[in-house]
């Protein structure tokens, strides 16, 4: 009998605690109904598990640096943090996506090109729209040394003819044709001997523009504008920027060898200087735009025209 009364008293105590909890939450502006939670509202939206209503305060997610974010073990799909380096929300979707890089008012959605899918990224500092990864890359860079984000290495002015593949064969024969085939041409500072070579990568109508329709190579001025907006003038600033530029390395025209992967980023521009062309360069200590020979193989990042 004593156990019977003790059981009844225990159930009554639990019920009182439940009622007290509901009353307390209601007093605090919370509402719980049908497995939904409302904060600041007694009628949470039917489509929401959690409905926060306020006209004076916001939602403050966890704040951390990119390094602290990257230290999270096995992040769940959809995990969201505020990245204090990017100064933006980051969402994990198999890699950490910087939401500030996407401008939904200017995007064309996904772009399928040469069997790869790209998206637009928006640079708030310059107002420019770029592809989200290097040409030939299978994913957006998760880090400066993410090999899947390196992409292909193009000789300046050449189209997507197969030469840009990092393992393509080499040839020592310079070409008088704008379409010399799928070999990486070595042993000379310029792969091309034909007429009017400066027009090969000029704008969306460039003879060998390797970018998707409506996209082109950036100018040196456009690269400089992006670089000066970085949080630091080096590889760390490049990867923390909306473009998330990795250290993709380069291919040497002397013998076709791949150099500086993980230590140097080199990205072509469309701007020419004499018989050379300009590029964006960065490593762990510095970043700048400079001039080099057109037979080098460098990464390509396309910009929307």
Q: Which DSSP string corresponds to 22-63?
A: HHHHHHTTEEEETTEEEES-SS--TT-SEEE--SS------E
| Statement to judge: residues 153 and 259 lie in one domain | yes
Looking at the structure of the chain, the number of domains it has is 3
Residues 168, 84, single domain; the answer is: no
pTM: 0.69
Report the distance separating Cα 175 and Cα 289, nearest Å: 28
Tell me: pLDDT of 216 over 90: yes
Which range marks the domain in which residue 73 is found?
A: 63-98
State residue 13's pLDDT score.
Answer: 56
Q: Judge whether residue 102 has pLDDT over 70.
A: no
Residue 159 CA to residue 175 CA, distance in Å, equals 13
Residue 237 lies in a domain: yes
266 domain-assigned:
yes
- Based on the fold, state whether residues 167 and 248 are members of the same structural domain: yes
Classified as helix, coil or strand, 19 is helix
Same domain assignment for residues 255 and 195: yes
Q: Is the pLDDT of residue 111 over 50?
A: yes
> Is 104 part of any domain?
no
Block residue for tokens 């500086």: 260
Residue 177 CA: distances (Å) to CA of 5, 44, 189: 98, 67, 16
**291/161 same-domain check:** yes
Tokens of 129: 């729209």
**46 and 72 assigned to the same domain:** no
User: What is the rounded CA–CA span in Å between residue 301 and residue 305?
Assistant: 13
Looking at the domain assignment, is residue 184 inside a domain?
A: yes
């Amino acid at each position: 009998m004593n156990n019977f009364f003790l059981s009844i008293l225990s159930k009554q105590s639990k019920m009182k605690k439940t009622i007290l909890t509901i009353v307390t939450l209601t007093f605090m502006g919370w509402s719980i109904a049908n497995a939904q939670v409302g904060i600041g509202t007694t009628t949470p939206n039917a489509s929401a598990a959690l409905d926060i209503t306020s006209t004076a305060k916001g939602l403050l997610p966890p704040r951390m640096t990119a390094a602290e974010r990257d230290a999270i073990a096995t992040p769940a799909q959809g995990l969201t943090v505020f990245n204090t380096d990017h100064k933006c929300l980051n969402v994990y979707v198999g890699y950490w996506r910087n939401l500030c890089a996407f401008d939904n008012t200017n995007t064309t959605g996904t772009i399928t090109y040469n069997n790869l899918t790209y998206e637009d990224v928006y640079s708030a500092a310059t107002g420019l729209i770029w592809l989200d990864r290097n040409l030939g890359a299978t994913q957006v860079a998760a880090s400066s040394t993410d090999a899947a984000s390196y992409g292909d290495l193009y000789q300046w002015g050449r189209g997507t003819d197969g030469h840009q593949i990092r393992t393509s064969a080499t040839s020592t024969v310079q070409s008088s044709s704008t379409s010399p085939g799928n070999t990486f041409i070595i042993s000379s500072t310029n792969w091309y001997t034909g007429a009017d070579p400066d027009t090969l990568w000029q704008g969306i109508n460039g003879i060998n523009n390797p970018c998707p329709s409506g996209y082109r190579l950036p100018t040196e001025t456009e690269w400089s504008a992006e670089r000066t907006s970085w949080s630091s003038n080096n590889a760390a600033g490049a990867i923390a920027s909306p473009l998330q530029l990795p250290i993709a390395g380069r291919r040497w025209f002397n013998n076709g060898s791949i150099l500086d992967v993980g230590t140097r980023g080199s990205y072509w521009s469309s701007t020419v200087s004499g018989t050379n062309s300009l590029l964006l360069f960065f490593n762990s200590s510095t970043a700048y735009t400079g001039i080099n020979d057109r037979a080098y193989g460098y990464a390509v990042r396309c910009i929307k025209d």
